């Protein structure tokens, strides 16, 4: 039980990577607040944890709104007695070059992927400090590390998240608050399905992308969740400021 007695908040927790993180944290003993904008998937994910004997509650929360973020953090502390782990997983994806991106679209990507992580972390830091330390885990992307055509806003937001991770790690290391970033490649999530759906033949596009992954397969949400568990628990107690690719070797080229 690597997280026995700990309390975690996971954003974007209704589906995909966020849901997998919440499930594995609960299985390892944590009480988990599942935060997100869509209430039905949150309820389903939280109920699945509770039905397995875990402790979980769902909390509607738009990470771009500071008041909603603060309410989620307060509820975690009030319901479960503190806060020890934060997973900033909420994200928004779009494909466009800089020229094709409207100002409104740029703001939406930045507000969700970068400002959202900032707001959640800012609200959580006092609780992590009161707990004597903790872990913030940012879910970046391989596009935190490399560029890609027609991903201008998304790459900028995820690159910013990687450097926000490092800056915060330096600011809070002496307080026992560790900040790390996981950078997944192609993972089988609803967001990935949305990205593939724009192609005339989504399965052919998936096969093309998988062919470029040295490990020979796309990732699964549980692959990311297991690394998040490592970063959340004491196994990684000397690890902070790391930006870790998790991509089947894609960025090793």
pLDDT of residue 198: 85
70 and 195 in a single domain? The answer is no
Alpha helices in 173-220 (DSSP H): 190-196, 202-211
d(CA 25, CA 18): 11
Domain assignment of residue 154, yes or no? yes
Domain assignment of residue 225, yes or no? yes
Phi, psi of 108 (to 5 degrees): -65, -45
Known catalytic membership, residue 92: no
202 and 136 in a single domain? The answer is no
154 and 238 in a single domain? The answer is yes
Domain assignment of residue 1, yes or no? no
pLDDT of residue 190: 87
d(CA 159, CA 165): 10
12 and 109 in a single domain? The answer is yes
46 and 170 in a single domain? The answer is yes
Domain, as residue range, for 195: 189-218
Domain assignment of residue 2, yes or no? no
Cβ partners under 8 Å of residue 94, min gap 6? 101, 105, 108, 109, 153, 154
Domain assignment of residue 251, yes or no? no
pLDDT of residue 8: 98
Domain assignment of residue 141, yes or no? yes
Residue environment code for 123-149, b if the CB has 16+ CB neighbours within 10 A, otherwise e: bbbebbeebeebbbbbbbbbbbbeeee
Q: The domain spanning residue 42 has which CATH number?
A: 3.40.50.720
**pTM for the predicted model, two decimal places:** 0.97
Domain assignment of residue 117, yes or no? yes
CB 133 within 8 A of CB 234: no
Tens-digit pLDDT string for the chain (253 aa): 999 999 999 999 999 999 999 999 999 999 999 999 999 999 999 999 999 999 999 999 999 999 999 999 999 999 999 999 999 999 999 999 999 999 999 999 999 999 999 999 999 999 999 999 999 999 999 999 999 999 999 999 999 999 999 999 999 999 999 999 999 999 999 888 888 888 899 999 999 999 999 999 999 999 999 999 999 999 999 999 999 999 999 999 8
pLDDT of residue 138: 98
210 and 121 in a single domain? The answer is no
Domain assignment of residue 252, yes or no? no
CB 181 within 8 A of CB 244: yes
Nearest-CA neighbor of 137 among 120, 160, 112? 120
Count of structural domains, the chain: 2
Instruction: Find the catalytic residue in 92, 93, 154, 250.
Output: 154
Residues paired with residue 8 on neighbouring β-strands, in sequence order: 32, 85
d(CA 226, CA 156): 26
137 and 212 in a single domain? The answer is no
């Amino acid at each position: 039980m690597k997280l026995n007695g700990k309390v975690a908040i996971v954003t974007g927790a209704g589906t995909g990577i966020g849901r997998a993180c919440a499930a594995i944290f609960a299985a390892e003993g944590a009480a988990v607040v599942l935060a997100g904008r869509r209430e039905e998937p949150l309820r389903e994910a939280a109920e699945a944890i509770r039905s397995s004997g875990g402790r979980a509650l769902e909390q509607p929360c738009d990470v771009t709104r500071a008041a909603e973020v603060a309410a989620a953090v307060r509820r975690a502390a009030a319901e479960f007695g503190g806060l020890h782990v934060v997973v900033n997983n909420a994200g928004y994806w779009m494909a466009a070059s800089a020229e094709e991106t409207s100002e409104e679209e740029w703001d939406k990507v930045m507000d969700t992927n970068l400002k959202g992580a900032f707001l959640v972390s800012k609200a959580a830091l006092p609780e992590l400090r009161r707990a004597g330390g903790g872990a913030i885990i940012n879910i970046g992307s391989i596009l935190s590390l490399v560029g890609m055509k027609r991903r201008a806003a998304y790459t900028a937001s995820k690159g910013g998240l990687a450097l926000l991770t490092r800056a915060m790690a330096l600011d809070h290391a002496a307080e026992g608050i560790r900040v790390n970033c996981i950078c997944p490649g192609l993972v089988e999530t609803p967001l990935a399905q949305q990205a593939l759906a724009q192609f005339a033949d989504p399965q052919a596009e998936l096969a093309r992308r998988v062919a470029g992954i040295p490990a020979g397969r796309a990732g699964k949400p549980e692959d990311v969740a297991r690394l998040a568990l490592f970063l959340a628990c004491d196994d990684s107690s000397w690890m902070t400021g790391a930006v870790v690719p998790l991509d089947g070797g894609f960025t090793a080229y």
